[in-house]
């Protein structure tokens, strides 16, 4: 497929959505764009990008993926709430499969912009998920 759709479900091609952000060709213009790029990076198992886009204050130690990482199958961004010029929240539901069983992650993530770049800080998982993982 010449221009596959972006895994983040934006309706754009990956080449005109998340890939330029992940590949370092352009910074994420908003917390929502970073959230979408991080989701896409999870689908691609791009640990380097995920770690680079995670704020140093909360960045985990690698490896991020175990021997059987989930298969990410869909993203729905429910809300993008700018709090001020350098802080925002993004509420999303990400669907994935583990061992053939469908799961969902419903989270409100916090982002901060420093030196013109957005970073994922942390998030609150909404009750009723029973899931782990953070795009």
Q: State yes or no: pLDDT of 98 exceeds 60.
A: yes
Left (φ > 0), alpha (ψ -120 to 50) or beta: where does 24 sit? left
The whole model's pTM is what? Answer: 0.90
Q: What is the pLDDT of residues 15-40, one digit of tens each?
A: 999 999 999 999 999 999 999 999 99
- Asked: is 14-125 a CATH 3.10.450.50 domain? The reply is yes
Residue 44: band (very low, low, confident or very high) from pLDDT cuts 50, 70, 90: very high
Query: Residue ranges of the domains in the chain?
Result: 14-125
| Helix then strand then coil, % of the chain, to nearest 5 | 20, 40, 40
């Amino acid at each position: 497929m010449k221009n596959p759709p972006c895994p983040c479900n934006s309706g754009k091609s990956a080449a005109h959505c998340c890939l330029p952000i992940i590949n370092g060709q352009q910074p994420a213009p908003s917390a929502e764009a970073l959230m979408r790029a991080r989701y896409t990076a999870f689908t691609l198992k791009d640990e380097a990008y995920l770690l680079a886009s995670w704020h140093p204050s909360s960045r985990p130690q690698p490896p991020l993926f175990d021997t059987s990482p989930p298969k990410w199958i869909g993203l729905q961004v429910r809300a993008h709430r700018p709090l001020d010029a350098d802080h925002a929240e993004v509420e999303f539901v990400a669907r994935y499969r583990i061992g053939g069983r469908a799961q969902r992650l419903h989270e409100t993530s916090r982002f901060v912009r420093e030196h013109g770049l957005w970073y994922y800080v942390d998030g609150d998982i909404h009750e009723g998920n029973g899931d782990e993982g953070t795009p």
